[in-house]
Chain A
Amino acid sequence: AQSVTQLGSHVSVSEGALVLLRCNYSSSVPPYLFWYVQYPNQGLQLLLKYTTGATLVKGINGFEAEFKKSETSFHLTKPSAHMSDAAEYFCAVSETGGFKTIFGAGTRLFVKA
């Protein structure tokens, strides 16, 4: 069965610092991987996704993620944090069959002025 592990339930960075949110997955077949963001009192929205092809994926708001098959990882990065990046971030893997997505437990990002 597929699963997703997000390392760190809370991450705190200073404004302007590098953001790194970690995600590892397990899958017996090539995975399709996603990062979603949830702002307070809102639903989730897609940041970026990996399907096939280029392993470095660029998303909205300056975020990117790199698929590393050998490490079964899909870490999310942003070179310079902004106060507006404070939110909860979810890594997810699409399950075979195309109808179900498995979500990680989430990482809450705090950005300090």
Chain B
Amino acid sequence: NAGVTQTPKFQVLKTGQSMTLQCAQDMNHNSMYWYRQDPGMGLRLIYYSASEGTTDKGEVPNGYNVSRLNKREFSLRLESAAPSQTSVYFCASSEGGVLYNEQFFGPGTRLTVL
């Protein structure tokens, strides 16, 4: 099992460009998440999908959109990138529906916006 995979691993964008970060999991998990990690701020939730067909905003959703394509895949789109979106992005998944489910994380995408 590959677990949670993310593509690309690295990306450099110019201000105003768009891109989509891809995430897939092979653990048959119901819930999926997108976080951003910035120095000294831990992980902040951007969007999550409790189950296939649903998505909800997290703590910092502005400037992002998501699509839960199917049970396996959850993508994050930046429509018009800004330097403030320079960060490391992590996708995660969990069985969902239980308070104490652990989350399984992908290796991350390091994004720089110039």
Contact = CB atoms under 8 A, between A and B. Distances in A.
Interface of A: 9, 32, 34, 41-46, 49, 51, 90, 94, 96-101, 103-106
B102 interface: yes
Given A44-B92, A44-B105, 13 more contacts: A9-B40, A34-B102, A42-B108, A43-B108, A49-B100, A49-B102, A51-B99, A90-B42, A94-B100, A98-B101, A99-B97, A104-B42, A106-B42
Given A98-B98, A99-B31, A43 B41 contact: no
B25 to A, nearest CB: 12
Given A44-B90, A90-B43, A105-B40, A98 B99 contact: yes
Given A90-B42, A98-B96, A103-B43, A43 B102 contact: no
Contacts of B103: 44, 46, 101
Given A99-B31, A100-B58, A43 B107 contact: yes
B45 interface: yes
B4 A43 contact: yes
A49 B99 CA distance: 11
Contact of A100 (B48, B90, B106): B48
Nearest to B105: A43
B42 A99 contact: no
A54 to B, nearest CB: 14
Nearest to A52: B100
